[in-house]
Amino acid sequence: MILKSIYDRKIFILSLVLTLFLLLTFQPKANSSEKDPSEVLSQLGSAMAKVSEQVKPSIVNISTTRLIKAQRHPFFDDPFFRRFFGDELQRQQTRKVTNLGSGVIATSDGFILTNNHVIEGAEDILVKLSNNKEYKGRVVGKDKRTDLAVIQIDEKNLPTIKWGDSDKLRVGEVVLAIGNPYGLNQTITMGIVSALGRSGIGITDYEDFIQTDAAINPGNSGGALVNARGELMGINTAIFSTTGGYQGIGFAIPANMAKNIMNSIINQGKVTRGWLGVHIQPLTPELVKQFNLKDDKGVLLSDVVEGGPAEKGGLKRGDVIVEYEGKSVESPVSLRNMVAATAPGQSVKIRVIRDSKPLFINVIIGELPADPQIASLSQPSNTFRGISVQELTDDFLKKSGITRKIKGVVVSGIDDASPALGKLKEGDIITEINRQPVSGVAEFNSISSKVKQEQDVLLSVIREGSWLYLVIPAKSN
């Protein structure tokens, strides 16, 4: 027992010593993970400086000049003044207007990406590099729908911007805006990405803007928005301001969109966009209910253009597009941008909901026509009371510019007491009621008379050549 006790005591002491050794050996030093704040700031500043040095050589200053006709004072037409000044008054007065902007060197052989509004109407374009060398620029191509343009200078081996993937950009990322605000060359401001996918602003036809609080001012247009790795994320294009200066909200065109437009201009001499051949509208709670959908994700096809890519691929009116090439379709704007970015001739997989069931359809994308049809949307009506209709004739179709053989009825009148007043319009063509085809007045009367007061109604209507669905919410008459 004594031996065992001595043995146990030795084991205990040995364990204690080993434990103390481990604690002393691996005990973290106080504040070892903490860094001096000045060191952190110094490292951040050094990193931003390196990014700036890397990107600045690929940013240029663009100045343009154009002549505009000056408005002549009315007294120039007075005979009294004409006696003294003679033919001098007959000459049209002109003045020179200058404009300043920025640009990004996209290729080493002189192609520069900028905004269309920077070079719009310019007679002379002067490009100034970061080394102060100046070159005369020429317009290669431009696209008003995205406010992008490509110009070129005669020089080789130029420093170029590093392209990034703007689809991977996240809200909150640090970004730098580089350009020439107010003509101050190579100005750099820092901020974060405030929002993504901004649209409906009214700046361009195709909007998918990156919003940032990096200071952007007049002259920054066409400059670069880069991330912390110095990769091009966008082309600065506009600001939201009530004063004309910086107020914390600026917009940039995503680099991926800009790259597609630039490559199309350089390689094809024009901008080509994909075309699906559909009229679309957003989903409302009423439409979600009518089409037995689980949620409002996707867009509704209110019409499929006859002979267009969608019709050839098998898409139908009433389909709800929820995915395009594996990407979720959140709104009509997002679908429009995705289709436009697709090369004509490319086959795409589209996921739709048809009759409450998912379906995959492959469609070969066409090329957007020069003057495509645009769907017009209206407010839904809510009752048939007080609505007069008449038969749809070939003469009416011809006058309306509709070449397809359509069946339906024409709204010929709406009483002042009708709840549909100001909603349905005279001249609207009703082709379906609750998904039931309407071939004439008799069928219209038959179907509409069976609609119950508490029942919502879904109409398919043609207005000014465009198809759309209207939901009539049930209301007490």
Strand stretches in 333-473, DSSP E:
347-354, 357-364, 366-367, 387-391, 409-414, 429-433, 436-437, 457-463, 466-472
Please give the C-alpha separations between residue 321 and each of 275, 326, 466, 471, in angstroms, as whole numbers.
15, 11, 19, 19
Residue 147 designated active-site:
yes
* CB-based contact 95:83 (threshold 8 Å): no
Amino acid at 178: I
Q: How far apart are CA 235 and CA 258, in angstroms?
A: 7
Which member of 143, 147, 208, 319 is catalytic? 147
Which member of 102, 117, 279, 381 is catalytic? 117
Q: How far apart are CA 152 and CA 107, in angstroms?
A: 10
Residue 221 designated active-site:
yes
Please give the C-alpha separations between residue 10 and each of 4, 6, 15, 27, in angstroms, as whole numbers.
10, 6, 9, 25
CA angle centred on 132, ends 62 and 228, rounded to 5°:
75
Q: Which long-range CB contacts under 8 A does 396-404 form with residues at least 24 apart? A: 400/427, 400/429, 400/464, 400/465, 401/465, 402/462, 402/465, 404/306
201: helix, strand or coil = coil
Amino acid at 145: R
Residues recognised as catalytic: 117, 147, 221
